[in-house]
Amino acid sequence: MYFTKMHGCGNDFIVINDLENKLNNLSELASKLCHRNFGIGADGIICVKRSSLGDIRMEIINADGSYAAMCGNGIRCFAKYLWEKDIVKKDKINIETGDGIKIAHLNINNNKLENVTINMGSPEFEPDKIPSLSSEKVIDKAIEVGNKKYNITSLLMGVPHTVVFGKLNDFNVEEGKVIEKYNLFPQGTNVNFVEIVSREEIRVMTWERGAGATMACGTGSCASVVAGNTLNLLGEKVKVHVPGGILQIEIQDNKVLMTGSAEISFEGVCEI
């Protein structure tokens, strides 16, 4: 099987062309390939599939074999892969995901793809959409988990996200493992610890459901900006520093636009 190893701000993926729909048991395949010691190593695998709804379909499986409806860094890598491999040679691509159609705008200069802007859609705070067992929206809600108190804001940004504001030095990203399983979230939640630098700049570290601590999380960066804007802590255009790089997030007419890089690390062949 041929594969391409890619990353968006250090959030890494194994991208596989499965237009002929030959791959079976993607969950088992992801667990095997993503292992950092015995496999290629990645936060997840991304499969290129045919779509009857858009130009193409993206299917993402986390490193632990669980399905992900959407991934912000992953979809930028996916868009670059489509362009580089001449699968969809357009500067605007309609990509079918588990969270509906996402539009990728490829920023191309002199026939070179510089970065990708994704329309991530609208955030959703309604508890049943996240899902959350709360009877009201989870906005700046005080909870106690593992003998530590947090104020959380939770929303659906393609996938469930919970945002905690404070100084990053006051948190260990591993704390996200406990919050992920908090009884308020029947399907778990991704967790973002956010430090505000200014109304236009933040620093984020994320614990991803199904992958653990990652170098970057696109949906998490979007969720962090939306949460901060909702609490009147941030403006509508924010530079987000993640461990692996920088993302630009903009809220526009209740839609969230994310711009960032996507890079090919290497290509290879493996036996499955």
Active-site residue among 71, 77, 222, 270?
71
Exposed, middle or buried: residue 209 (CB in 10 Å: 0-12, 13-18, 19+)?
Answer: buried
Exposed, middle or buried: residue 143 (CB in 10 Å: 0-12, 13-18, 19+)?
Answer: middle
* 180: CB partners within 8 A, 6+ apart: 188, 189, 190, 191, 207, 209
CA distances 22 to 17, 25, 27, 44, 201, Å, are 10, 10, 14, 19, 44
The answer to whether residue 217 is catalytic is yes
The answer to whether residue 9 is catalytic is no
- In the block, residue with structure tokens 């620093």: 203
Active-site residue among 9, 47, 77, 217?
217
Active-site positions read: 71, 217
